Amino acid sequence: MTVIEKMKKSDWNQVLDIYIQGMETKNATFETTKPEWESWEDWDSDHLENCRLVVKEGTKLLGWAALLPISTRKYYSGVAEVSIYLDKESLGKGIGSMLMKSLIEHSEKNGFWMLQSEIFPENIGSIKLHDKFAFRKVGIREKIGKMEGTKNEWRDVVLMERRSEKCGV
């Protein structure tokens, strides 16, 4: 049975494994050689505690989602960046939709009025997922960062955002 639940510290190894799978695609994150988080504690301090979810089938993690603050400034407290990663064996099975739907519900219950994502243009699956949940394309951030390990190639990202109709209106 597939369930969505709050992420726990005990999920960390599988969360990291799925993140590394994303790194290996070269279309999920700028990181290519090792995660920026050395430990659960590092990851925990970067991500908002009240919006961290995992999808499990038994004890196996199929994917995870979390929110990161976009700023420490008080007036941006209701704006967060979406981080969503799926196990490569879970792609195309509706797991991303389950996670995104639940993440949006949790974010609104916790007072977030705007969610944003920065997605490589080549990551068509992620763009389609965000489109499905009423994220709108704000624009392209051209050559926003260099991807290490790929001849320091400059990469663009598509900036997408979703405004809540339930909070912060």
168 belongs to a structural domain: no
The pLDDT profile of the chain, 169 residues, written as one tens digit per residue, is 899 999 999 999 999 999 999 999 999 998 887 787 888 999 999 999 899 999 999 999 999 999 999 988 988 889 999 999 999 999 999 999 999 999 999 999 999 999 999 999 999 999 999 999 999 999 999 999 988 766 778 999 999 999 999 887 6
The answer as to whether 144 is a domain residue is yes
Is 23 part of any domain?
A: yes
Inside any domain, residue 169: no
In total, how many domains does the chain have?
A: 1
Q: Are 20 and 87 in contact (CB under 8 A)?
A: no
CATH number at residue 142: 3.40.630.30
Give the CB-side neighbour count of residue 47, counting CA atoms within 13 A: 26
Give the integer Cα–Cα distance in Å for 101 and 13.
24
Q: In terms of pTM, does the model score above 0.75?
A: yes
